[in-house]
Amino acid sequence: MFTSLRGLSGDLVEITVNGAPLQVVAGQSVWSAMALNGFTVTRKAAVSGQDRSAYCAMGVCFECLVEIDGLPNQQACLRRVSAGMVINTQHITEASEVYHAEL
Amino acid sequence: MQSFDCAIIGTGPAGMSAALRLSELGATVAVLDRAPSPGGQIYRAVAQSPLATPDKLGADYLSGADLVSAFSKSNVAWMPGADVWHLGDDGRIFYSQDNRTQELQCRQMLICPGAMERPMPIPGWTLPGVMTAGSAQVMLKSDAMAISDAIFAGSGPLLYLIVAQYLRLGIPIAGVVDTTPRQNYVAALPMLASALRQVGMLFKGLGLLREIQKSKVPFYRFATDLEVVGTDHAQGLRFQQDGASYELSGDAVLLHHGVVPNLNLARSIGLDHVFEPDQLAWRVKTSPFGQTSCPHIWVAGDGAGIVGANGAKHAGELAALGIGCELGLLDDVGRDQLAEAPRKASAGQSGFRRFIDRLYQPAPDLMLPTRDDTIVCRCEEQSLWDLRQGFQSGARDPNALKSLTRCGMGPCQGRQCGHIVSGLLAKWREEPVADVGYYRLRSPLRLLTLEELARLQDGESAR
């Protein structure tokens, strides 16, 4: 289980993950904010649609791709949370129809 | 467009020490890293640790603070959060900052791409809850986040270090499954004598192992046939030990069996690479100063062969001296004089490195998958069976196999499957990996939106 050794210390910001409003420590990675709140599935596998989650946490596996503020394919381990950020598990697979990203 | 004498990509020990030396020599230097703060993986967040007791990570980690502090005080143009997605042999660099592409020009380019963990393609390694042991350290350093009740599995100094760090911080561990093959201890013995010259390093390593063995954490050695247990999430690890089967329960499985150079930046410019037999990995071919097959492009640190943090620092200094000489900031004699100290220091470490490389050489059955249904390419979900079919249909080299099966074509651009695919083809062709080659890579090196590309076309990025 993912645990924080510093708890909710320091400045907090509000973000939304899969529709849930969360208070998280400002400046932490999107991945750690998700994982500490139980949102460990980042995306679906492109072919099988199986659940995937962060593997390397340093930007070389691309398993933690999520949607941030409407933009898909964002590496959750490299992005940092900021106030008002809206994060969603990415559901794009090979079977997805035309996808409209909000630009 | 901004223009610099030298652009350095990466702020690990190699990049930072090179930047400092070049700026001392009077060069204008741009330094780019996609991280928000300098340090690379090894000294990640060392200047602003979120941990109450960062000393539990060890003195080696804390020692990076001096270099980071000197770097932060220097007059280099430091560009944090700059994710480089194109390197040109014309000295042009495109990088993305907050999803906007910027551009700069440099006369000399130094790539310090660092290392990444060697992927371990075992059954179930794509399940949520399976991560690398290095990721546990990354999360600890940058966000004070831990995974409790995890199983650590694999081999090598970094694995033992992170386990020891977890123990010191009181984070519960479900077990440690060591996969170092028994024969490695015999094979590494002849290298022990030269490793003894770095007796301090040797004792440090033994100390870590003692810390683990002294703890109450279940510790299994000589494990083989690893398999993650779980259907939609990792729940444990199955393995064999001396003919007996074991199954260990845990909330996560953290894998590690050494590191390999992070190849994609250097590969994308088409720099010459060699396959390093001692490290079983591709590395950029460089001169002693780090100069590559493209004379104004240099590579230092783990990207030019795994040398570790101290080795990378020395390599960074040497590259800076080579570059300084090319820029006319010092002559050959001055360069060679200044090079003596870092050269001697790195030569002094090579004996220990060879010993460690041999002792912790990954088990062949963990480097290459053995079961047909094991995924090799995580992005495109290509299994060992799929790839063998591709090979039997006539795809004999990595690029042909990529075209036929889509392996290496997903968002990670072969970072995970590249070494495995080269290794599998070498095995099937019964030829050396060096003859099989590697994927041909091209920019962009990160995922870009069409909008970001279009903005670049409009010239919006040119400031």
Over the stretch B284-308, which tens digit does the pLDDT of each residue have?
999 999 999 999 999 999 999 999 9
Q: Is A70 on the interface with B (CB under 8 A)?
A: no
* Cβ–Cβ < 8 Å for B293, B285: yes
What is the residue-wise DSSP string for B62-108? HTHHHHHHHHHHS-SEEETT-EEEEE-TTSEEEEEETTEEEEEEEEE
Reported confidence tier of residue A7, pLDDT bands at 50, 70, 90: confident
Instruction: Mark whether B28 and B57 lie in a shared domain.
Output: yes
Say which CATH topology domain A12-89 has. Answer: Ubiquitin-like (UB roll) (3.10.20)
d(CA B239, CA B247): 7
Q: Looking at CA atoms only, how far is residue B68 from chain A in angstroms? A: 19
Instruction: Mark whether B240 and B125 lie in a shared domain.
Output: yes
Residue B6 is encoded by which pair of tokens?
């030298």
In a domain, B442, yes or no: no
Domain ranges across chain A:
12-89
Instruction: Mark whether B180 and B267 lie in a shared domain.
Output: no
Q: How many domains does the structure of chain B reveal? A: 3
Determine the structural domain holding residue B402 and report its residue range.
368-436
d(CA B367, CA A23): 41
Q: Is A57 on the interface with B (CB under 8 A)?
A: yes
The residue type at B44:
R
CATH number for the domain spanning B234: value is 3.50.50.60
pLDDT in tens, chain B (463 residues): 899 999 999 999 999 999 999 999 999 999 999 999 999 999 999 999 999 999 999 999 999 999 999 999 999 999 999 999 999 999 999 999 988 999 999 999 999 999 999 999 999 999 999 999 999 999 999 999 999 999 999 999 999 999 999 999 999 999 999 999 999 999 999 999 989 888 888 999 999 999 999 999 999 999 999 999 999 999 999 999 999 999 999 999 999 999 999 999 999 999 999 999 999 999 999 999 999 999 999 999 999 999 999 999 999 999 999 999 999 999 999 999 999 999 999 998 889 999 999 999 999 999 999 999 999 999 999 999 999 999 999 999 999 999 999 999 999 999 999 999 999 999 999 999 999 999 999 999 999 999 999 888 666 554 4
pLDDT value at position B211?
A: 96
**Residue B115: strand, helix, or coil:** strand
Instruction: Mark whether B222 and B265 lie in a shared domain.
Output: no
d(CA B179, CA B196): 24
Instruction: Mark whether B270 and B211 lie in a shared domain.
Output: no
In a domain, B449, yes or no: no
Q: Is A32 on the interface with B (CB under 8 A)?
A: yes
In a domain, B362, yes or no: no
d(CA B106, CA B8): 9
In a domain, B340, yes or no: no
Q: Which of A47, A62, A85, A102 should one mutate to test binding to chain B, selecting the residue with the greatest count of B CBs within 10 A?
A: A62
Instruction: Mark whether B169 and B236 lie in a shared domain.
Output: yes
In a domain, B348, yes or no: no
The residue type at B397:
D
Residues of B within 8 A of A65 (CB-CB) are 411, 447
Instruction: Mark whether B236 and B284 lie in a shared domain.
Output: no
Collect all residues with Cβ–Cβ distance below 8 Å to B27 and sequence separation of at least 6.
B4, B5, B6, B323, B324, B327, B329
Nearest to A61 among B52, B142, B416 (CB): B416
Instruction: Mark whether B156 and B46 lie in a shared domain.
Output: no
Q: What's the ipTM?
A: 0.95
